[in-house]
Amino acid sequence: MPVFTNLDSSRLVPTARRLVSALLLMLVVAACGTKDAPYVERPVEELYNRAMDAMASSEWEAAAKGFDEVERQHPYSVWANKAQLMAAYAYYQKNMYTDAISSAERFIQLHPGSRETPYAYYLVAVCYYEQITDVGRDQKITQQALSSLEEVVRRYPTSEYARDARLKIDLTRDHLAGKEMTIGRYYLRTNMQIAAINRFKMVIEKYQTTTHVPEALHRLAEAYMSLGVLEEAQNVAAVLGYNYPGSEWYVDTYTLVTGQEVSTASSEKKSWWNIF
């Protein structure tokens, strides 16, 4: 194996210099390649009109970015105020809900007294509402939707947005009740009656105006029967018979508790209030 002991350092220096120069050149080229496009300020009317044209063509993302550019280049103009909300709407149309919520909330913070602020609150609520998933999944978004919808009604009870928000609140609450019912049924199937009872009671007490209450009462009676607590099952059946005398759930509950069959048509006459 050769050993070099008499290297000429004067010959190495130029080589090292050339290597350093080459590396510096590469760094400069790389920096130029990643440099952002030069900032070009344009008149606010031009930027806004371009964004509006994109929106008219349903190019929602391009429109949103165009409105963002209006705010970025002319933050103190009257156009910037409009652009914030228009960007939120364009992001919403593109189903870019996170960006839409961010833009709408920024508008609310900067312009709390604007006549367009009620719409901004409503837009935030609708963005959450449209992300509601099926009852088998986590319902965090559903809770956020409910909270935002209730905020619209609380702040602007007589507005057109509040009317629609109330309808969506009912549907959202029904969805949350459905989630509780799904969990309660699972507990009932796996013989975890106490846990099931707690879930069904939550539906009855917290979501009493939803469509799930008749079934919740029936399942509650079913859970009590499986525990051998006949009196509690009879009390629940009485409540079900009084409030929903003609429902199929009452018919099933009546049969479950008494062991006798009863038709839907005659269930109103055979109410627990008449028996006990």
Rounded to whole angstroms, the Cα distance separating 235 from 8 reads 104
**H or E stretch at 223:** helix 213-227
261 exposed, middle or buried (CB, 10 Å; 0-12, 13-18, 19+)? exposed
The candidate with the shortest Cα–Cα distance to 210, out of 177, 249, 233, is 177
Rounded to whole angstroms, the Cα distance separating 207 from 153 reads 18
Per-residue pLDDT tens digits for 143-189:
999 999 999 999 999 999 999 999 999 999 999 999 999 999 999 99
Rounded to whole angstroms, the Cα distance separating 6 from 79 reads 75
Residue 265: C-alpha distances to residues 215, 247, 252, 271 (Å): 19, 9, 13, 12
Rounded to whole angstroms, the Cα distance separating 90 from 96 reads 9
pLDDT band at 196 (very low <50, low <70, confident <90, very high): very high
**Are the C-beta atoms of 233 and 257 separated by less than 8 Å?**
yes
Q: Please say if the pLDDT value at position 273 is more than 70.
A: no
pTM above 0.85, yes or no: no
Rounded to whole angstroms, the Cα distance separating 186 from 135 reads 13
Per-residue pLDDT tens digits for 197-223:
999 999 999 999 999 999 999 999 999
Residue 47: how many other CB atoms lie within 10 Å: 22
**Are the C-beta atoms of 73 and 50 separated by less than 8 Å?**
no
CA 168 to the chain's CA centroid: 13
Per-residue pLDDT tens digits for 35-54:
454 556 777 778 888 888 98
**Are the C-beta atoms of 218 and 249 separated by less than 8 Å?**
yes
